[in-house]
Structures are given as C-alpha cells and as structure tokens.
C-alpha cells in the first residue's frame, strides 16, 4: 500500500494522526447475518483500529459459512399444537420460520 515505508515509520505516522492499532488474540470469530446464516472465521488474525473515537476491526482467516440450525423441542411443538389446534407439520413449519414459540402461536392463530 505505501511502498518504501517501513512498518515502524508507519506506526509512528499513525500514532501522530491519532490512530492506534492493537492485535486481539482470538480463537474464532462468528458473525451472525440477518438471514440467520453464520460466518465463522477460524484461526483469525484480528486487529482493532481506534481512530477519532471510533473502533473498527480487521479480520482475516479461514472462512466457513453455514446456516444456523434451529432445534425444536417436542414440548414446544406440543404447546403450540394445544394453543392453536394446528397439525404437527404446520407447527414445525411455523417454529422453523419464526424461531420463537410466541410468534409461532400468533402466526398460526391468525
């Protein structure tokens, strides 16, 4: 990026500009996206950068993406079936969609 500048000089310039950078010793970083998908970064290199009162993070490593698995307990299915009078299949679908007992009951009660 800045050819010919050694890392020590770069750190000094950053410090003069009010930018500090610290390495964070992390084992794994997980990011949960709005759609429920997880981005898992294994063996990460994490740098925290502080500049003008803001903190940002630079992360690199082995990236893996997977969808978040939702466990539905038999008790939850039973409760929703009792409250709504819906079939087991309908209840499972609602619980998978909403990922919440109360929301599933409300959705199936409409």
Q: Where are the domains of the chain?
A: 22-67, 74-109
Q: What is the pLDDT of residue 47?
A: 96
27 Cβ neighbours under 8 A, 6+ residues apart: 44
What gap in Å lies between CA 78 and CA 107, rounded to an integer? 16
Class of domain 22-67: mainly beta
Domain 74-109 has CATH 1.10.8: yes
pLDDT interval class at 2 (50, 70, 90): low
Tens digits of per-residue pLDDT, 38-92? 999 999 999 999 999 999 999 999 999 998 777 889 999 999 999 999 999 999 9
What gap in Å lies between CA 63 and CA 19, rounded to an integer? 28
Alpha carbon separation from 60 to 9, 40, 47, 95 (Å, rounded): 24, 11, 9, 35
Tens digits of per-residue pLDDT, 4-47? 788 888 888 888 899 999 999 999 999 999 888 899 999 999 99
Percent of the chain with pLDDT over 90: 67
What gap in Å lies between CA 25 and CA 80, rounded to an integer? 44
């Amino acid at each position: 990026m800045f050819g010919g500048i050694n890392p020590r000089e770069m750190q000094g310039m950053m410090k003069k500009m009010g930018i500090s950078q610290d390495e964070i010793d992390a084992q794994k970083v997980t990011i949960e996206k709005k759609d429920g998908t997880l981005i898992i970064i294994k063996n990460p290199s994490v740098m925290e950068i502080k500049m003008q009162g803001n903190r940002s993070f630079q992360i690199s490593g082995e990236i893996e993406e997977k969808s978040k698995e939702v466990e539905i307990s038999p008790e939850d299915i039973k409760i929703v079936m009792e409250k709504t009078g819906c079939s087991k299949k309908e209840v499972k679908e609602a619980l998978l969609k909403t990922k919440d007992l109360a929301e599933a009951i409300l959705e199936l009660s409409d």
